[in-house]
């Protein structure tokens, strides 16, 4: 009798623990946007699930997950850039997620089954309208044309944003053509790579260089800025959606997945599904100037509306990320550091 009572008691405790597990979610995030605060609060309000969040650089978070092993408290890992998500995937940390919601809302080329893209940003060309002719900067390939010698500004080749573009180029054009393109691009540098994407846009606006590569959300952020220097820079520049007549403008992502060792798997899936909801998708657009991955969601961000529609590259995001190592080798050989 005592044994039966003990077994029932233990079963009850286990049941209570299982119920308690659904009331919290441990999130490891490498997204460093203050605007995401409302996103998390909205999830907590809608579900009653409390988010315990740890923010750090993705390398530090992945090292922490690796060291924690099977005892990791992390349920979900999210970050920006496909190459970073692929790096996490290569470590084997993600679990396969079976969700009709995610499969039906997120296009197939923007998910792998283990990690999912929840917002996108485009790698655009920004040029000084007084120094450069629009017809000379309609494609990524044209940035390697000798006529642009001394005109190109770009951040370092080791940055994932550029590695992802290089990986996409490899997938579409092959390694040989990509290396030739990178060598031509490097030969056209106006200066040694430095700073972030915003610095490249400002350099184009100031006439320090004629053309640059930048992620679209940096452009949109400056378009919405009230700072006089940002407004002045944007008056001098124009934006191009590259490769509209070929494979389309390169797209990168922000996304994440559930860990294999997640102690709160039900809450983790609910959170991932929430990120694909209309509410969250609209927030990505309004809060951080990113595009939703869910096609049916309409963007009302004035800056994104001003940028207008474009043909996006539909290369499978998994293929984009896997070419990053090859892209890095090509960049190193060509001197893009």
Instruction: Indicate the pLDDT class of residue 18, thresholds 50, 70 and 90.
Output: very low
Per-residue pLDDT at 330 exceeds 70: yes
CATH architecture of 24-119+251-306: 3-Layer(aba) Sandwich (3.40)
Query: Over the stretch 71-114, which tens digit does the pLDDT of each residue have?
Result: 999 999 999 999 899 889 999 999 999 999 999 999 999 999 99
Per-residue pLDDT at 1 exceeds 70: no
pLDDT confidence of residue 179:
98
- Calpha distance 260→271 (Å, rounded): 15
Angle at 279 between CA 76 and CA 224, to 5 degrees: 100
- Calpha distance 62→277 (Å, rounded): 27
- Calpha distance 153→204 (Å, rounded): 8
Query: Over the stretch 255-297, which tens digit does the pLDDT of each residue have?
Result: 999 999 999 999 999 999 999 999 999 988 888 899 999 999 9
- Calpha distance 284→252 (Å, rounded): 14
Contacts (Cβ under 8 Å, ≥6 apart) of 193? 154, 155, 156, 157, 336, 337
Residue ranges of the chain assigned to CATH 3.40.190.10: 24-119+251-306, 121-248+313-334
DSSP assignment letter at 138: S
In contact, 137 and 125? CB cutoff 8 Å: yes
What average pLDDT does range 135-160 have in this prediction?
A: 97
Per-residue pLDDT at 317 exceeds 90: no
Domain 121-248+313-334 class in CATH: alpha beta
Instruction: Indicate the pLDDT class of residue 7, thresholds 50, 70 and 90.
Output: very low
Query: Over the stretch 21-80, which tens digit does the pLDDT of each residue have?
Result: 479 999 999 988 777 888 999 999 999 999 999 999 999 999 999 999 999 999 999 999
Residue by residue, DSSP assigns 52-92 as: EEEE--HHHHHHHHHHHGGG----EEEEESHHHHHHHHHTT
- Calpha distance 54→28 (Å, rounded): 5
Query: Over the stretch 213-238, which tens digit does the pLDDT of each residue have?
Result: 999 999 999 999 999 999 999 999 99
């Amino acid at each position: 009798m005592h044994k039966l009572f003990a077994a029932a008691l233990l079963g009850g405790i286990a049941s209570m623990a299982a119920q308690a597990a659904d009331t919290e979610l441990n999130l490891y995030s490498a997204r460093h946007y203050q605007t995401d605060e409302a996103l998390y609060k909205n999830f907590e309000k809608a579900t009653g699930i409390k988010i315990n969040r740890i923010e750090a650089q993705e390398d530090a978070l992945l090292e922490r997950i690796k060291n924690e092993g099977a005892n990791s408290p992390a349920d979900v890992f999210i970050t920006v850039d496909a190459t970073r998500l692929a790096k996490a995937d290569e470590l084997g940390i993600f679990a396969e997620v079976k969700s009709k919601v995610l499969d039906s809302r997120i296009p197939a080329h923007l998910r792998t089954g283990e990690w999912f893209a929840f917002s996108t940003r485009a790698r655009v060309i920004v040029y000084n309208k007084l120094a450069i002719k629009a017809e000379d900067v309609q494609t990524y390939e044209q940035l390697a044309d000798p006529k642009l010698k001394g005109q190109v500004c770009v951040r370092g080749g080791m940055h994932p944003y550029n590695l992802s573009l290089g990986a996409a180029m490899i997938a579409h054009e092959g390694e040989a053509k990509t290396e030739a393109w990178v060598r031509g691009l490097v030969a056209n540098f106006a200066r040694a790579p430095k700073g972030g994407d915003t610095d490249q846009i400002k350099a184009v606006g100031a006439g320090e260089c004629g053309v640059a590569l930048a992620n679209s959300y940096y452009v949109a952020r400056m378009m919405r800025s009230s700072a006089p220097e940002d407004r002045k820079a944007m008056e001098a520049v124009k934006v191009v959606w590259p490769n509209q007549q070929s494979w389309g403008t390169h797209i990168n992502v922000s996304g994440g997945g559930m860990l294999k060792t997640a102690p709160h798997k039900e809450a983790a899936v609910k959170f991932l599904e929430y990120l694909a909801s209309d509410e969250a998708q609209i927030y990505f657009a309004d809060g951080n100037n990113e595009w939703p991955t869910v096609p049916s969601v309409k963007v009302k961000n004035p800056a994104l509306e001003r940028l207008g529609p474009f043909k996006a590259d539909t290369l499978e995001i998994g293929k984009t990320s896997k070419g990053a190592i090859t892209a890095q080798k090509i960049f190193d050989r060509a001197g893009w550091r």
